């Protein structure tokens, strides 16, 4: 179930669904998603679906990981990306192979500790982790060329807008309940441009760290 053929089928599906960035597809092809889910769900790791990872959280659907990564990279290479919501570490692992440095914030410590172990196991060492509140971002290390948010915010956190570098891009789901939209925010010379990219479904971005 975790065979190369199964992975190839997933990549073909992502391509057919419109993911066209060859580098993103190649990174998803070689990243072992089965390591980021419980053993009992490993046989479903290469399905294009979100899966539970405990603590009321999910590992994102591969299409969404690919699409959000592609959107971040659309304007060219990035050297410094802030990820809000480490979760299982799967999106983190994909990003770390696409950009120079990833700074990842997670409020649930046990999830982030597991994610750290997985990234060490895969020898992905260009990621720095912070246990804290995603709504606050990571101001001490700002600004960031890219920001990716892997949980839905009721509105766009001002702290994250403030931490986006000029020309920087932020991909974030915004909304609540059934009504959620994926948005691309670009920091322009005179403010921010906002692009609505379509309906999505994410777990909520909650306040406050949790041990």
Q: Hey, is 201 helix, strand or coil?
A: coil
Which residue numbers are catalytic? Answer: 60
According to the model, what pLDDT value does residue 166 have? 96
According to the model, what pLDDT value does residue 56 have? 78
Contact 192, 161 (CB under 8 A): yes
Gyration radius from the chain CA atoms: 16
Supply angle C-alpha 1, 92, 175, rounded to 5: 100
According to the model, what pLDDT value does residue 2 have? 58
Supply angle C-alpha 48, 83, 17, rounded to 5: 25
- Determine how β-strand 57-59 pairs with β-strand 101-106: unpaired
CA distance 16 to 191: 35
CA distance 138 to 121: 25
The token duo for 6 is 């199964």
Q: What is the pTM of this model?
A: 0.94
CA distance 159 to 51: 29
According to the model, what pLDDT value does residue 68 have? 97
According to the model, what pLDDT value does residue 211 have? 59
Contact 189, 137 (CB under 8 A): no
Buried b (16+ CB within 10 A) or exposed e, 183-196: bbbbbeeeeeeeee
Q: Hey, is 54 helix, strand or coil?
A: strand
The CB-based long-range contact list for 72-78 (8 Å cut-off, 24+ gap) reads: 72/99, 72/146, 72/148, 72/169, 72/171, 73/21, 73/23, 73/24, 73/98, 73/99, 73/146, 74/169, 75/167, 75/169, 75/186, 78/145, 78/146
Q: What is the pLDDT along the chain (211 residues), one digit of tens a residue?
A: 557 888 999 999 999 999 999 999 999 999 999 999 988 898 899 999 999 898 878 898 999 999 999 999 999 989 999 999 999 999 999 999 999 999 999 999 999 999 999 999 999 999 999 999 999 999 999 999 999 999 999 999 999 999 999 999 999 999 988 899 999 999 999 999 999 999 999 988 988 777 5
């Amino acid at each position: 179930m975790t065979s190369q053929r199964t992975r190839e089928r997933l990549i073909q599906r992502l391509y057919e669904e419109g993911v066209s960035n060859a580098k993103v597809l190649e990174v998803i092809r070689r990243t072992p998603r089965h390591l980021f889910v419980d053993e009992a769900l490993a046989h479903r790791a290469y399905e294009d679906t979100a899966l539970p990872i405990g603590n009321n959280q999910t590992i994102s659907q591969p299409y969404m990981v690919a699409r959000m990564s592609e959107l971040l990279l659309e304007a060219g290479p990035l050297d410094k990306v802030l990820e809000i919501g480490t979760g299982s570490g799967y999106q983190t692992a994909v990003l770390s192979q696409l950009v120079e440095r990833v700074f990842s914030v997670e409020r649930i410590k046990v999830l982030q500790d597991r994610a750290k172990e997985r990234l060490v196991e895969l020898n992905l060492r260009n990621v720095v982790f912070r246990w804290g509140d995603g709504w606050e971002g990571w101001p001490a290390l700002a600004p960031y060329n890219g920001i990716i948010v892997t949980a839905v915010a009721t509105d766009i956190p001002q702290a994250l807008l403030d931490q986006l570098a000029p020309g920087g891009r932020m991909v974030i789901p915004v909304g609540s309940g059934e009504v959620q939209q994926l948005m691309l925010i670009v920091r322009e010379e005179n403010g921010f441009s906002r692009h609505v990219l379509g309906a999505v479904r994410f777990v909520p971005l909650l306040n406050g760290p949790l041990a």
